[in-house]
Amino acid sequence: MDRRSFTRSLLGAAGLVALGARADAPDAWQAAFESRRAQQPWQMGFEGLQDDAAPLPLAMRGRVPPALYGAFYRNGPARHTLGGERYHHWFDGDGMLQQYRMGPQGVVHQGRFVRTDKYLADTAAGYPVRPAFGTNPPHAEPIRSADAMNVANTSVVSHGGELLALWEGGSATRIDPQTLQTRGLKTWTPEYAGMPFSAHPRLERDGSLWNFGVSSTASLLSIYRVSADGRDVRTASLQVPDIAMVHDFAVTERHLVFLLPPLVFDVERLRAGQTFLASHVWRPALGLRVLVLPKAQLDAPRWFQLPAGFVFHIGNAWEDTRRGVIRLDYIRSPDAWWATQGIPNLMRGQYQSADHATMALVELDLQSGQARQELLPHAAEFPRVDPRFVGQRYRHVLVSERVAAGPRPGYDAVTRIDVQSGRADRYRYGTEVLAEEHIFVPRAGAPEGHGWVLGTALDLRQRAMLLSVFDAQHLVDGPIAQGVLPRVMPLGLHGIFVGA
Ligand SMILES: [Fe+2]
């Protein structure tokens, strides 16, 4: 066999393999997931969807207060399998924007996949042809830009008259707030077209937006400041040594605060064909670095040091100028095991108990350069604060909490934690319900934390989603209104409320 025909035969073989995969035979991950599904009801939250979710009314108990008329938008990974091939990480799935439209007639839900370039290319092929955050599918093509693998699946923001679905490694995606149709990528400035724009922008009291983006291969941290009307966009970028996986940040009156876990990007691993996730190395000797940037002088970084730990989310931060300290809360894991192993295991139907992430309070002393940390006994995630107090002195953080969830992943309660007193006000959904993120919707003119708490949960017994409204001061009393959506939606990530 000459060289040319040898190559042709290899290609032919590859073609046969590809044809096999296209026959929708489940791959090993899908088969493992399916084999355990009947015994583990929690898996329905990670099964995923293939199609958009057409408008469907909720059966309501109690009434939604008029102050909540408008839309509750949620985003999350929703297509986990295509053509028999299952993604290996929850964060890989194509984003679906969900809308709970609330009005005097009741609540109607719909969900629509974001038509990203990746979604369209994969759908056209019938199987994944683009790499994902934690999976290199067998037929993945090489990509030239981060947006080629952008799944727009992490959060949503309403700003400057636009609704944007957010990922973290690439552009934001513009969405029609009524129909949820995809309008295309958002370009902030020509120079920053296609640059990463994180899923956790911070909106300040005056409506201005701060955000960041991590360009791992370039070791670059980019900063965005966008005026309330969206017209004035300022950008800056700085080199960061040992660039880490950074998912969230915080703002104070005068500073931006980044927590850099020692999960550090190694470009050689990416070049060797590892996934983006597997191109990160746990280097605990680096500790948890804290980068503080003065808003007025982004090129004057200050560094603080905390014990090694992993972090996705920060609740809030504020500056105690009298004492010269920055205070913040975050959700801390002792290491990155859950992100790199625990979550992938869920995708094949394996839940292993982990050292659950807990809330931590931090004080950064701007004079001495010292950082102190205190751990609170709350196994929790998805910290949210009253949106009027972002970057301001605050007391209340809302979390999804794991109280007695049993042998399954996720959260069984929604809890408001007072970070000054340590007191907690909690509603327990029970072990047959998986609570998603809940958010504060403030009552106009009322003090911090007064208003409503709004959130969704997956009810495993009813095979339904619950949309719950609480009096934010009395979670323990249970929902003042609750709707049942008679279908299972994939467990998702972040949401926002937009008033009518
Ligand atoms: Fe997040």
pLDDT tens digits, 389-423: 999 999 999 999 999 989 999 999 999 999 999 99
Residue type at 177 in one-letter notation? P
Q: Is residue 1 part of a domain?
A: no
CA of 165 to the centre of ligand 1 (A): 13
CA of 359 to the centre of ligand 1 (A): 15
Q: Record the pTM.
A: 0.94
What is the spatial distance between Cα 340 and Cα 336, in angstroms, rounded to a whole number? 6
Q: Is residue 39 part of a domain?
A: yes
pLDDT higher for 353 or 290? 290
CA of 154 to the centre of ligand 1 (A): 6
* Cβ–Cβ < 8 Å for 46, 472: no
CA of 452 to the centre of ligand 1 (A): 21
Split at pLDDT 50, 70, 90, the class of 433 is very high
CA of 245 to the centre of ligand 1 (A): 12
CA of 247 to the centre of ligand 1 (A): 6
CA of 299 to the centre of ligand 1 (A): 26
Q: Is residue 462 part of a domain?
A: yes
CA of 382 to the centre of ligand 1 (A): 7
Q: Is residue 3 part of a domain?
A: no
Q: What pLDDT, on a 0 to 100 scale, did the predictor assign at position 19?
A: 38
Q: Is the pLDDT of residue 293 over 80?
A: yes
Find the mean pLDDT for residues 274-284: 97
Split at pLDDT 50, 70, 90, the class of 267 is very high
Supply the mean pLDDT for the chain: 94
The per-residue pLDDT for range 41-53, each reduced to its tens digit, is 999 999 999 999 9
Find the mean pLDDT for residues 287-314: 98
- Domain coverage including residue 241: 24-499
CA of 262 to the centre of ligand 1 (A): 18
Find the mean pLDDT for residues 15-24: 42
The per-residue pLDDT for range 7-18, each reduced to its tens digit, is 222 222 333 333
In the numeric block, the tokens 């295309």 are attached to 184
Q: Is residue 130 part of a domain?
A: yes
The per-residue pLDDT for range 47-77, each reduced to its tens digit, is 999 999 999 999 999 999 999 999 999 999 9
Q: Is residue 18 part of a domain?
A: no
CA of 381 to the centre of ligand 1 (A): 9
CA of 400 to the centre of ligand 1 (A): 13
CA of 69 to the centre of ligand 1 (A): 25
The per-residue pLDDT for range 310-368, each reduced to its tens digit, is 999 999 999 999 999 999 999 999 999 999 999 999 999 999 987 789 999 999 999 99
CA of 496 to the centre of ligand 1 (A): 13
Q: What pLDDT, on a 0 to 100 scale, did the predictor assign at position 1?
A: 31
CA of 166 to the centre of ligand 1 (A): 10
Q: Is residue 183 part of a domain?
A: yes
Split at pLDDT 50, 70, 90, the class of 2 is very low
CA of 164 to the centre of ligand 1 (A): 15
CA of 25 to the centre of ligand 1 (A): 33
CA of 314 to the centre of ligand 1 (A): 9
CA of 197 to the centre of ligand 1 (A): 13
Split at pLDDT 50, 70, 90, the class of 24 is low
CA of 403 to the centre of ligand 1 (A): 21
Q: How many domains does the chain have?
A: 1
CA of 24 to the centre of ligand 1 (A): 32
Q: Is the pLDDT of residue 250 over 80?
A: yes
Find the mean pLDDT for residues 170-199: 98
Q: Is the pLDDT of residue 6 over 60?
A: no
CA of 473 to the centre of ligand 1 (A): 25
Find the mean pLDDT for residues 237-247: 97
CA of 151 to the centre of ligand 1 (A): 14
**CATH number of 285's domain:** 2.130.10.10
The per-residue pLDDT for range 106-125, each reduced to its tens digit, is 999 999 999 999 999 999 99
CA of 4 to the centre of ligand 1 (A): 50
What is the spatial distance between Cα 237 and Cα 223, in angstroms, rounded to a whole number? 6
CA of 404 to the centre of ligand 1 (A): 23
Q: Is residue 415 part of a domain?
A: yes
CA of 412 to the centre of ligand 1 (A): 19
CA of 198 to the centre of ligand 1 (A): 9
CA of 91 to the centre of ligand 1 (A): 10
* Cβ–Cβ < 8 Å for 148, 167: no
Q: Is the pLDDT of residue 93 over 50?
A: yes
CA of 11 to the centre of ligand 1 (A): 41
Q: What share of the chain has pLDDT > 90, as a percent?
A: 93
Q: What pLDDT, on a 0 to 100 scale, did the predictor assign at position 12?
A: 28
Q: Is the pLDDT of residue 245 over 70?
A: yes
CA of 437 to the centre of ligand 1 (A): 10
Q: What pLDDT, on a 0 to 100 scale, did the predictor assign at position 11?
A: 28
